[in-house]
């Protein structure tokens, strides 16, 4: 979840999207500038847009900078070189239909996350990193160095975002979309990424990821579920529980991923049309056990204050005789079908306001469906209706979630329930 777990940041993230932080690409900068010019107060998704803060702040007018104060702010650098420190503290309230204890207490309010971000440059080398501290685990979301090869190309090496689908997030709410929980949104792995910045209306991201962010199947970690991004960590045999620790471990390795986006402008409507694909192998610690792949078609349109995101995706894990995989994230194991399709439809409207410290609202409805599952389980559905509120250094999500077989909403991605569960959620974050 966007304590995500996304989250997210976001970047929106939430979208913190997420959704480079120290040296924003022209594409990312243009997106922020477009939102700011259209809305004058629209806050870039806080989860993933620390990366764009330095360049965006220098381009804003004094009035816009004041309105955008809820974007994470770090201390100004004394020179071009230097590493800046930022972060966030978040708390969360939830009221659910699937927990009698929660309902009896009138919901629960709890600490969510303490987060630290480092971004900046030393000489020609760029740095971008984020570590998250929870009550139950500590996780690195991303940590990479970068270099601007040419005016159009940047290279990033380390734990960086896998290019796939609507970028940087395929969602507006704190929970992300259903794709996040099957590893197809805001995923971060260990490898190298080449980014061609927007030029001549198109952009291209190409990545090679040696393994997941915890070192793959043989990574030296206490628990392979202590991670921000959802990754496959094993497969299930008949009789295995959907939440069990995996007894047949697996790890992703040697994954190639590519994302192409073409930008079209018609009057005041701007749209990115894109296609993404990835393919890699699975290792059991002794030998190659199988392979996996995924592809997606996606579009992201802006018209005045409106934003519409559409995406269709398919994925497949190929292991003989296996139709269910084990995944891990947020100190928690779950299961997904080894093959499935997904579709998402996200609509948002951004509204500038001047209500005391409140400078911007974004209303949204995000719908996602995972279907045609190979394990025979019922469809996963999640619909999130909500609003995000920017007020100074505070950024808050108010989400009403209705879902079936959805993690963190009373179900599992391999669940078989016909019941629709409900969760009302408020996530309050202070960004610095």
**Domain CATH for 141:** 2.40.160.10
Please check whether residue 360 lies inside any domain of the structure: yes
* Per-residue confidence (pLDDT) for residue 64, from 0 to 100: 33
Which residues in the chain land under pLDDT 70?
A: 1-80
Q: Is 401 exposed, middle or buried (0-12, 13-18, 19+ CB in 10 A)?
A: buried
Question: How many angstroms separate the CA atoms of 345 and 312, rounded?
Answer: 9
- Find, among 74, 71, 6, 84, the residue nearest to 45 by Cα: 71
* Per-residue confidence (pLDDT) for residue 76, from 0 to 100: 37
- Tokens 């939440």 locate to 243
Please check whether residue 21 lies inside any domain of the structure: no
Q: Report pLDDT digits (tens) over 62-85.
A: 333 333 333 333 333 334 689 999
The structure tokens listed for 195 are 């980014």
* Per-residue confidence (pLDDT) for residue 23, from 0 to 100: 38
Separation in Å, CA 241 to CA 252, 256, 326, 421 = 22, 31, 10, 21
Please check whether residue 292 lies inside any domain of the structure: yes
* Beta strands 153-161; 188-199: pairing state: antiparallel
Please check whether residue 386 lies inside any domain of the structure: yes
Q: In 3-state terms, what secondary structure has residue 214?
A: coil
Question: How many angstroms separate the CA atoms of 131 and 7, rounded?
Answer: 13
Please check whether residue 18 lies inside any domain of the structure: no
* Per-residue confidence (pLDDT) for residue 1, from 0 to 100: 54
Domains contained in the chain, number: 1
Question: How many angstroms separate the CA atoms of 159 and 144, rounded?
Answer: 6
* Per-residue confidence (pLDDT) for residue 80, from 0 to 100: 61
E strand or H helix at 39: helix 26-39
Please check whether residue 8 lies inside any domain of the structure: no
Please check whether residue 109 lies inside any domain of the structure: yes
* Per-residue confidence (pLDDT) for residue 380, from 0 to 100: 98
Asked whether the beta carbons of 280 and 252 are under 8 A apart, the reply is: yes
Q: Residue 420: give the domain boundaries.
A: 26-431
* Per-residue confidence (pLDDT) for residue 73, from 0 to 100: 34
Please check whether residue 78 lies inside any domain of the structure: yes
């Amino acid at each position: 979840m966007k304590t995500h777990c996304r989250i997210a940041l976001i970047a929106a993230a939430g979208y913190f999207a997420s959704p480079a932080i120290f040296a924003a690409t022209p594409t990312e900068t243009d997106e922020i500038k477009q939102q700011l010019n259209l809305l004058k107060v629209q806050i870039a998704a806080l989860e993933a847009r620390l990366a764009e803060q330095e360049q965006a702040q220098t381009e804003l007018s004094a009035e816009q900078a004041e309105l955008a104060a809820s974007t994470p702010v770090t201390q100004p650098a004394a020179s071009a070189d230097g590493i800046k420190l930022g972060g966030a503290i978040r708390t969360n309230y939830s009221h659910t239909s699937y927990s009698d204890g929660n309902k009896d207490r009138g919901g629960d309010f709890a600490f969510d996350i303490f987060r630290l971000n480092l971004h900046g440059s030393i000489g020609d080398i760029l740095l971008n990193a984020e570590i998250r501290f929870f009550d139950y685990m500590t996780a690195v979301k991303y940590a990479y160095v970068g270099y601007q090869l040419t005016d159009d190309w940047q290279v990033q090496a380390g734990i960086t975002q896998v290019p796939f689908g609507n970028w940087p997030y395929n969602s507006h709410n704190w929970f992300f979309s259903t794709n996040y929980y099957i590893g197809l949104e805001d995923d971060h792995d260990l490898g190298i990424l080449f980014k061609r910045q927007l030029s001549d209306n198109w952009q291209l991201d190409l990545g090679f990821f040696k393994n997941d962010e915890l070192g793959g199947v043989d990574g030296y970690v206490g628990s392979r579920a202590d991670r921000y991004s959802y990754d496959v960590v094993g497969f299930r045999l008949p009789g295995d529980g959907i939440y069990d620790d995996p007894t047949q471990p697996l790890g992703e390795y040697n994954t190639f991923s590519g994302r192409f986006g073409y930008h079209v402008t018609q009057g005041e409507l701007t749209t990115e049309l894109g296609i993404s694909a990835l393919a890699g192998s699975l290792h059991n610690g002794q030998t190659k056990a199988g392979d996996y792949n995924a592809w997606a078609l996606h579009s992201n349109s802006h018209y005045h204050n409106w934003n519409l995101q559409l995406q269709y995706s398919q994925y497949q894990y190929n292991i003989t005789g296996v139709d269910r995989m084990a995944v891990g994230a947020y100190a928690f194991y779950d299961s997904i079908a080894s093959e499935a399709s997904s579709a998402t439809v996200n609509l948002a409207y951004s509204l500038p306001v001047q209500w005391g410290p409140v400078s911007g609202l974004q209303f949204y409805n995000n719908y996602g469906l995972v279907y045609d599952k190979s394990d025979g389980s019922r469809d996963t559905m999640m619909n999130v209706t909500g609003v995000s509120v920017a007020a100074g250094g505070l950024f808050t999500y108010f989400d009403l979630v209705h879902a079936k077989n959805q993690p963190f909403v009373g179900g599992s991605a391999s669940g078989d329930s016909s019941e629709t569960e409900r969760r009302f959620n408020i996530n309050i974050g202070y960004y610095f």
